[in-house]
Amino acid sequence: MRETIMNKLKELEQEHAIKILYAVEAGSRTQGSFSSDSDYDVRFIYMHKKEWYLSLDKKRDSLEDKTGNLDISGWELAKTLRLLRKSNISLAEWLQSDIVYIRDNQFESELLDLYKKAFNTKTAFYHYLQLAKNNRKDLEQKPGTIKLYYYCLKSILACKWIDRNKEMPPNDIQQLLFEVNDNGVLHSEITKLINKKASGDKQEVIYPILNHFIAEELKLLQLTADTMPVSIYNEREITLTLDSFFRKILNIHDWHQ
């Protein structure tokens, strides 16, 4: 499958006259919960030639391609940096992926460092809290849906991680489980859910213990959100740093066809 993915990425480069700087696997395959029928969710960051940016017209800043179980999408470099400035959680997950298809070590390292410096605890916390609420609402409409349980719990655990560590949470839900402190029963139930999702079994199951945990945690997390102090965030300084990085990458990777 890796060869198929690499060939598709090369096709996208040629078709759109772009350079892919970073391409990774995202989604369940990097979260410790994928099943044999899970899609391949490939995400990438790309840039155009310098001339592309010297225009008054707004241009397309993302690309998508989906064929069968292969879902590929990417963001243009300037868009990526604007989202980084907002502590976009999808980008954080890309930068922590342990399945990398295309990489430039310097670009990857510097981008991750920039993300950490620009990371806004409150913004990221609210992102995950809203995801948890949305999944719980859907779960109420579709009780027992394994995927909804999973993503609701993962978002809750990510919130708890951010609150305690003041840094972006890891992708792997097994690492996030360290945020669960109980007598073992709750941890066991969550592990059962993860294993069920990984097995590909989509049969609906009601988890009373997890329902109670989700309801109580969302109340506590909302209280945390309401009292969370505003993050110290110098947007101008961060913007200047990102502008400098953007120009440097354009110069380093300038190419002609």
Among 58, 12, 25, smallest CA distance to 172 is for 25
**Is the pLDDT at 254 greater than 70, yes or no?**
yes
**Is the pLDDT at 162 greater than 80, yes or no?**
yes
Under DSSP, the state recorded for 96 is T
Output the pLDDT for position 255.
64
pLDDT tens per residue, range 69-128: 899 999 999 999 999 999 999 999 999 998 999 999 999 999 999 999 999 999 999 999
How many Cβ atoms are within 10 Å of 183's Cβ, its own excluded?
Answer: 7
CA dist., res. 222 & res. 101, Å (int): 38
Determine the 3-state secondary structure of 231 from DSSP: coil
**Is the pLDDT at 230 greater than 90, yes or no?**
no
Split at pLDDT 50, 70, 90, the class of 232 is: low
Output the pLDDT for position 30.
73
| Mean pLDDT score across all residues of the chain | 90
Output the pLDDT for position 58.
85
CATH architecture of 2-119: 2-Layer Sandwich (3.30)
Output the pLDDT for position 56.
83
Output the pLDDT for position 33.
60
**Is the pLDDT at 154 greater than 90, yes or no?**
yes
Report the pLDDT averaged over residues 14-36. Answer: 83
Output the pLDDT for position 141.
94
**Is the pLDDT at 28 greater than 80, yes or no?**
no
Report the pLDDT averaged over residues 197-223. Answer: 92
CA atoms within 13 A on the CB side of 43: 20
Residue 87 near residue 119 (C-beta atoms within 8 A)? yes
Domain boundaries, the chain: 2-119, 121-227
Output the pLDDT for position 164.
92
